[in-house]
Amino acid sequence: MRLEEGKSYSFTNVKSIVLPGGELNMILAGPDRKKYLLPMERYGEYNLGTKPEITCKVDKINCSGKVFLEPEHPYYREGESYLFMLAGGPVTDNGSGEDDHVEVRDFKGGVFSVPVSLLKGNMAADGRVRLRVERISKGKIFFAPPKTRDDLEDLEEGRTYRFRVDRIISGTDYETYYVVIDINGREHLLNTRYYSHYGFNPGSEFTGRVIRFGHDRNKTIEPDNPWYVPGEVIKVTVGSSVASETGEGFITEVFDENGFIHSLLLDTLPDTPVIRCRIVKLKKGWPVLEAMAD
């Protein structure tokens, strides 16, 4: 196979070497069975040396056929929008135009220099500014304004999209929420109470399905579960059972192979230690199970 410019591939980390000039490089084995050098000096925060497999984009193939690789950034993706805070004081335009720059800070404390023009009309009262990552090359991030309303893609109910956790906030209801960003850079909330076991942190990415629209046209998002897929059949071990308050059936605790506990409403007491259940759907971070007849 031949690598194509602009496409991403998985490369195997072979080893690191120091070139005669003293430059530290990583040797990567590509899917085309060829070896490639990746200069490490540009990618210190990527921690590439600890990873056996590294996803890289073919950034450029020059006229002599030399391939230049760009490893996937640990936090940022090209085309996506992110929130930053002004690192200094108020921004003023001294009239020198596009060459004016200001520093902004991300959620990890990293500082970037961006043109003042990107902040105009794009900064909130609290000093936050939304910027789109236009391109990442040689470890450097190039920013652009966020998409205009005409460029935004409406999320459709029932479809799955990619989201990113931006930060965690406290709500007025004394709950805490993940603020997640969709493909358009818009914000949505996920209650941490339902999804803390997913291991989400600022910078985490996940796929999720839009399950409904709220009354205020906000989207309700159900992240894909790391352990369960709707429609699958799993085996669970039966624990304790008690009669339901209505007298119809039994509330039975069951344990799955991941160590999670679930409750089932069964018509009769189970007569085997292990039963099969179908995952009907996911709701607020947990599967809804339905016992299956043998």
| pLDDT at residue number 88 | 65
* Domain annotation covers residue 287: yes
Contact 83, 166 (CB under 8 A): yes
pLDDT score for 96: 46
pLDDT in tens, 169-217: 987 778 899 999 888 778 888 999 999 989 999 889 899 888 865 444 4
Asked whether residue 177 is domain-assigned, the answer is: yes
Domain co-membership, 94 together with 53: no
- Residue type at 132 in one-letter notation: R
pLDDT of 94? 47
Give the end of a domain, one of 119, 144, 169: 144
Instruction: Tell me the one-letter amino acid at 104.
Output: V
H or E element that contains 127: none
The total of structural domains in the chain comes to 4
Is 213 inside any structural domain? yes
Q: Give the angle 118-120-122 at the CA atoms, nearest 5°.
A: 80
| 46, 55 contact by CB (below 8 A) | no
pLDDT number for residue 7: 86
Could you tell me if 139 and 182 lie in one domain? no
Q: What is the mean pLDDT of residues 154-175?
A: 84
Q: What is the mean pLDDT of residues 63-73?
A: 86
Q: Is residue 1 part of a domain?
A: no
CATH code for the domain in which residue 219 is found: 2.40.50.100
Contact call for residues 247 and 267 (beta carbons, < 8 A): no
pLDDT tens string 254-276? 999 888 888 888 888 888 999 99
Q: Same structural domain for residues 111 and 172? A: no
pLDDT per residue as tens digits for the range 217-251: 457 889 998 888 888 898 999 988 888 777 778 88
Residue 2 lies in a domain: no
**Which of 41-45, 119-123, 164-168, 193-197 shows the lowest mean pLDDT across its residues?**
119-123
Asked if 173 and 211 sit in the same domain, the reply is: yes
Question: DSSP letter string over 37-98?
Answer: EEESGGGGGG-GGG-SEEEEEEEEE-TT--EEEEEPPSS--TT-EEEEEESSS-----S-GG
Residue 44 inside a domain? The answer is: yes
101 and 140 belong to one structural domain: yes
**Chain mean position to CA 50:** 20
Structural domain of 267: 233-291
Question: Kind of pairing, strands 128-137 and 160-170?
Answer: unpaired
CA 55 to chain centroid, in Å, comes to 15
Q: pLDDT value at position 27?
A: 93
Kindly state whether residues 66 and 14 are assigned to the same domain: yes
How far, in Å, are 123, 148, 188, 207, 217 from residue 155 at the CA level?
A: 24, 16, 12, 13, 11
Query: Does residue 110 form part of some domain?
Result: yes
Is 12's pLDDT higher than 90? yes
Contact 202, 154 (CB under 8 A): no
Mean pLDDT for all residues in the chain: 83
Query: Residue 13: pLDDT above 90?
Result: yes
Residue 76 maps to a domain: no
**Confidence grade of residue 9 (pLDDT, cut at 50, 70, 90):** very high
The reply to whether 217 and 254 lie within a common domain is no
pLDDT tens profile 20-31: 888 899 999 999
